[in-house]
Structure 1
Amino acid sequence: MNEDSKALYHELITNKIIPEIKKDHDNDLTKEEIDLIGSHLDKEIEDLNQHIDNEKCTKIRKQIRLKRTKIKQYKKQINDYSGRKHKYDVQKSILKDRNSYSKTDHDATFMRMKEDHMKNGQLKPGYNLQIATNSQFVLSYNVYQNPTDTRTMIPFLNLIQETYGHLPEYIVADAGYGSEPNYMAIIDDFNRIPLITYGMFIKDKTKKYKSDIFNTQNWDYDEINDEYICPNNKRLGFKRYAYRHDKYGFKRDFKLYECDDCSECPLRH
């Protein structure tokens, strides 16, 4: 819809039907800008109506009517875009940073439940309940909209700290909570010790994973020269640092290693 509304706006500008209402033509039209285009088209239709009433020549009146018909078609499109834009803006405000929500309970998010009687991984609207315990006593609980346990840990720890004024020395959780942002927050922000396995912990221990020659985790590493040695016995030297932001804004730092020449590598084919 955004591309269609922009294309229509450019057509109206090119044909000099409406005045230019925005300088940056690359950005999507807002609801207010779409409504302003509609107002200009209403004014154009009104002017054409007056022109038809005042015109005596039948041939010219016919030409004006044809022009008015075209403007009315534009107006109908703009009204459609305006209604859809409003609908999508409302849906986005409900959705926020989630991927889904229930039409009957806007706070609920679609997620896979542990109880799956149909055994088909069906998604159902619900909440992610988090419970913190110590020596089998419940310390705190809360419900979250996010289906991923990983992203509930930091806000849940904040809640526990606000409630009790401090956190236990060790933060224990299963691999579903293991992530770089969580490890860093527990160590750096909460000054606690995480006892949380990472998501690949079980897979790392399998024979298949350890015997995969293309898995860089299995390559020999020369700590003195900061180089990895590939299965073809080529050395990959450190080239540069890099970083990438994930979709939640977390910055991940990387070290990039490259081989000077892989052109004759027999393992590439």
Structure 2
Amino acid sequence: MHMKYDYYNHTNVFKPGYNVQMGSSNGYIRHIYVSGDANDRNTYIPFMEGYHRAYGCFPRKTPADAGYGSYDNYCYCKEHDIELYMKYNTMHKEQEKVTDKNRFRSYRMKPDEEGNIYCPQGHTFTLEQTKESVKGRYPRTIQFYRNEHCEGCPLRSQCAQSKHGRTLQRTDKVAEMQIEVRENLLTETGQELLKQQSIQAEGIFGQIKQDQEYDRLWRRKETMVKLELLLVSIGHNLRKYHTHRMQKQKTNQKNHS
């Protein structure tokens, strides 16, 4: 991918950019992945496959922010017995208070106990068709709903953009996995993992970029960039190990004194 070098002056000069993924545990960098893809969702599976090649196994839990929560990534976790702790893009919005602005969002319109979906005006959606999609890594079944009561509805201008009325798309399997994600993250383990994910992942990038003043890549092409980042990661892990060892020695000296 590329990023604009001089956005405000419109010189049309671009610089190359790389999407850097790092997996950490106990403050140590365990694995890295470099990609030219700007979308984090597309980097999760290649990252995990690289991790598996390096260690011969998959981690049990991989907490991550909403940029990684997708149908394919969740299915990949299910396939390899990885517990679901990755947020999805509407998770925090679903927990917000219902307002006049957000009550028309699709994530607010979910099936009730009887499987009926209602619009903000209280009208039921009708299932029009079901299709099998094979666009991603894992096939999915998509249900297409339409509300047949939009004509003359006083809320239509706020709710429906199409002249044919309000439509919805749902995948039951996605909804089930999102429920599992929410339940997992609400547990004590989930809260601790989110806390550590924020501290470790963001902390490592902060230490490398701010403390070590490494805020740009000096090499080009993915193979050379990966080599450079491997050296940076080794340096980080050595500093981490040395700091941990010195702290342990000081603690032992205090206990013996």
Query: What TM-score, normalized by structure 1, do the two folds share?
Result: 0.48
**Structure 1 vs Structure 2: percent identity of aligned residues?**
26
Counterpart of 2:122, as a letter, is N
8 A Cα contact 1:203 1:209, kept in partner? no
Q: Does 1:266 align with 2:158?
A: no
8 A Cα contact 1:129 1:141, kept in partner? yes
CA displacement at 1:251 relative to structure 2: 4.1
SS in 2 for 1:194: coil
CA displacement at 1:196 relative to structure 2: 1.0
Distance in 2 (alpha carbons) for counterparts of 1:181 and 1:167:
17
Partner of 1:169: 60
Distance in 1 (alpha carbons) for counterparts of 2:78 and 2:137:
19
Partner of 1:51: none
CA 1:220–1:123 in structure 2 vs 1: closer, same or farther (change >3 Å)? same
Q: Is the strand fraction higher in 1 or 2?
A: 1
Aligned residues: 155
CA displacement at 1:259 relative to structure 2: 3.5
Q: Does 1:240 align with 2:132?
A: no
Partner of 1:154: 45
CA 1:154–1:262 in structure 2 vs 1: closer, same or farther (change >3 Å)? same
Structure index of larger Rg: 1
Distance in 2 (alpha carbons) for counterparts of 1:120 and 1:245:
43
Distance in 1 (alpha carbons) for counterparts of 2:74 and 2:123:
34
Alpha-carbon displacement from aligned partner over 1:194-216 (angstroms, at most 9, x marks no partner): 31111233333444768533223
Could you tell me which runs of 5 or more consecutive residues in structure 2 were left unpaired when the two chains were aligned: 158-257
Counterpart of 1:233, as a letter, is G
CA 1:237–1:222 in structure 2 vs 1: closer, same or farther (change >3 Å)? farther
8 A Cα contact 1:227 1:238, kept in partner? no
Q: Does 1:256 align with 2:107?
A: no
Alpha-carbon displacement from aligned partner over 1:20-65 (angstroms, at most 9, x marks no partner): xxxxxxxxxxxxxxxxxxxxxxxxxxxxxxxxxxxxxxxxxxxxxx
SS in 1 for 2:57: coil
Task: Give the alignment of 1:1-269 within 5 angstroms.
Answer: 109-111=1-3, 124-188=15-79, 190-207=80-97, 212-219=102-109, 221-224=111-114, 226-244=115-133, 246=135, 251-269=139-157
CA displacement at 1:221 relative to structure 2: 3.5
8 A Cα contact 1:220 1:230, kept in partner? no
**Greater relative contact order, per chain length (Cα 8 Å cut-off, separation 6+):** 2
SS in 1 for 2:49: helix
CA displacement at 1:222 relative to structure 2: 3.3
Counterpart of 2:147, as a letter, is C
Partner of 1:29: none
Distance in 2 (alpha carbons) for counterparts of 1:185 and 1:161:
13
Counterpart of 1:198, as a letter, is Y
Counterpart of 2:125, as a letter, is L
Counterpart of 2:42, as a letter, is R
CA 1:232–1:128 in structure 2 vs 1: closer, same or farther (change >3 Å)? closer
Distance in 1 (alpha carbons) for counterparts of 2:110 and 2:41:
31
Distance in 2 (alpha carbons) for counterparts of 1:140 and 1:236:
46
SS in 1 for 2:126: strand
CA displacement at 1:223 relative to structure 2: 2.5
Distance in 2 (alpha carbons) for counterparts of 1:245 and 1:160:
26
CA 1:215–1:154 in structure 2 vs 1: closer, same or farther (change >3 Å)? same
CA displacement at 1:111 relative to structure 2: 4.2
Distance in 2 (alpha carbons) for counterparts of 1:268 and 1:173:
37
What's the RMSD between the two structures over aligned residues? Answer: 3.2
SS in 2 for 1:156: helix
CA displacement at 1:125 relative to structure 2: 0.4
8 A Cα contact 1:241 1:256, kept in partner? yes
